[in-house]
Amino acid sequence: MRLEDLGLVGNCQFSALIDRKGSVVWCCLPRFDSEPVFSTLLDKAAGGQFRIGTPDVTTGKQRYLDNTNVLETTFESEDGSFRVLDFAPRFVQNNRTFRPTQLVRIVEPIRGTPRVSVLVDPKLGWSKDTPQRSQGSHHLRYDGFPSPVRLSTDIPLSYLEGQPFVLSERKHFVFSYGAAVEESLPALCARFLDETVRYWGLWVKDCDVPPQFQQEVIRSALVLKLHCYEDTGAIVAAMTTSIPESPGSGRTWDYRYCWLRDAYYALGAFRMLGRFEERESFVSYLLNIAASDPELGLNPLYRIDGSLDLEEQILEHWPGFNGEGPVRVGNGAAKHKQHDIFGEMVLALTPVFLDDRFKAERSADALGLLERLTRRAIAVAGTPDAGIWEYRTAWEPQTFSSLMSWAAADRMAKVAARHLPGKEREFREAATAISEQVIARSWNAELGAFAGTYGGQNLDASLLELATLRMFSPEDPRLRSTVDAIWKGLGHEGWLFRYRLDDGFGRPTVAFVICTFWLVEALAVIGRRKEASEVLAHIHAAMSPLGLMSEDIETANRRMWGNFPQAYSHVGLIRAAFAASPGWEEIL
């Protein structure tokens, strides 16, 4: 199985990955971090699946209906052709967003009398047990799940175990978790499809896009939206667990959770897109997380409901993606000390006090929380931690973590200027002290760059953020030298590695996708926009045919690795595209 051959559908409640053979290979219900119902992504032989395709299981062609998250897979055969439309309903109904836990699949003939095969075989989560089935007149009920699960269809139920049949007219399938479908399927599915297509079309029209790389930004925006869990406002890092970062690496992690670090980057992308609703929801999630811990002993990641039951476990009876185990559930990084998250929380919450559209979220308590987060960020500057890359080796003072501490003090000074004028000077002085510390302890003359750790000898791609966070002016020779050193020292075949050192699992052998997007941003900041645009043009060609991206890429063959799709990568593309593209005022 290849990640490049997978499409994503969802509705901000749940999601599903569907391959080019028409099979749902991954779907967790009722939400992103639940146990999987369809799971051949991690166990080809024994995982659950829901396939609608040709009897001989041929490969179809996939595309999204324009500016939507509705996936179309078209199949050709000697008998004719047909298409499968897959989507999770999402639209406004009764002044609220309707997003049921339902996967809708519509199959319709295009030419001739094609033969179709349907196989529906859900499994009971990580146990992979087969649920007890009960047959109704037009549905199958699957027992053993926490809530009722049912497949409603207008094809003969006898055909749901793979027996081929001739497709002469449009047929419908609704796989539901919770409330069952009681209406006439043809009318219901047609309405759901029309309303969902309309919803996504209007959502895209409300997005700002740059003149260049428009389609890539639109698709990334749609993908990023599907990573939002609307019930709480959380944004998950990825839809999957345990896709290895590289072949044979053993680097398999569960990413179906919300990393606080992603807050600043995701909110920044939504700001560029002109999206307010998603920013407001995520800010509320972050405020709840921070306010629930008076000591501000924040963890790097949380479940999408804000809880912390994230103990990492290895599931021995799961072979993993293409046999590349281990399969992990939970994430041990939740116990790490990653000091950069305090700065990123401050950056994520700063708009509440500088953007008047967030006035409803302003309060004395929220301002006090922001101040306490800033003081915590200042206090941990220059102290050892696991850092942005979650090292599982001995911890050292990470330069990137100190950069985020500086950013917290710098932005808090701006907030204080408006809301706490008596404290502005204190935070400006703290920012100056941290920047002087970074210069004194991480500048490496031999490298001609700031090192990844204090007193270190290694380059770190995260320090490209020195440019975008504006610790130094674009003309500063140390900043320009650092950008060039990272590009030269970590670059490989047009991509960037995050670092070259042994992180406890060996030296990385694949490029980390967002790092190259950071390079694009940094080049644009220091006035090399033409070069930034060239780098972006080179790497965007490695996206999947559907415009989706994972966490890592094997540069030699442009093979995607890592959990998929990766919100961080799509955030990176959005930000890079806005940085590299000319403005509309330069085009129109």
Q: Return the SS3 of 1.
A: coil
- Strands (DSSP E) contained in 127-282 are 132-135, 139-143, 149-153, 165-166, 171-177, 228-229, 234-235, 258-259
Contact of 575 with 209, CB cutoff 8 Å: no
Task: Judge whether residue 504 has pLDDT over 70.
Answer: no
Q: 47: pLDDT confidence band, cut at 50, 70 and 90?
A: very high
pLDDT tens per residue, range 268-319: 999 999 998 998 898 889 888 887 887 888 899 999 999 999 999 999 999 9
Residue 34's pLDDT is 97
Contact of 240 with 551, CB cutoff 8 Å: no
Task: Judge whether residue 506 has pLDDT over 80.
Answer: no
Fold (topology level) of 3-204:
Beta-galactosidase; Chain A, domain 5 (2.70.98)
pLDDT tens per residue, range 53-78: 999 999 999 999 999 999 999 999 98
pLDDT tens per residue, range 315-341: 999 999 999 999 999 998 888 888 999
pLDDT tens per residue, range 85-139: 999 999 999 889 999 999 999 999 999 999 999 999 999 999 999 999 999 888 9
Q: Which residues sit opposite 566 in a β-bridge?
A: 238
Task: Judge whether residue 565 has pLDDT over 80.
Answer: yes
Give the distance between the most distant pair of CA atoms in the chain: 78
> What are the residue ranges spanned by the domains of the chain?
3-204, 206-586
Q: Which residues sit opposite 561 in a β-bridge?
A: 552
pLDDT tens per residue, range 225-271: 999 999 999 999 999 999 999 998 889 999 999 998 887 888 899 99
- CATH hierarchy code of domain 206-586: 1.50.10.10
Q: 505: pLDDT confidence band, cut at 50, 70 and 90?
A: low
Average pLDDT over residues 152-162: 95
* Cα separation, 508 vs 498, whole angstroms: 8
Residue 100's pLDDT is 97
* Cα separation, 512 vs 475, whole angstroms: 27
Q: Which residues contact 407 (CB under 8 A, 6 or more apart)?
A: 343, 346, 347, 469, 471
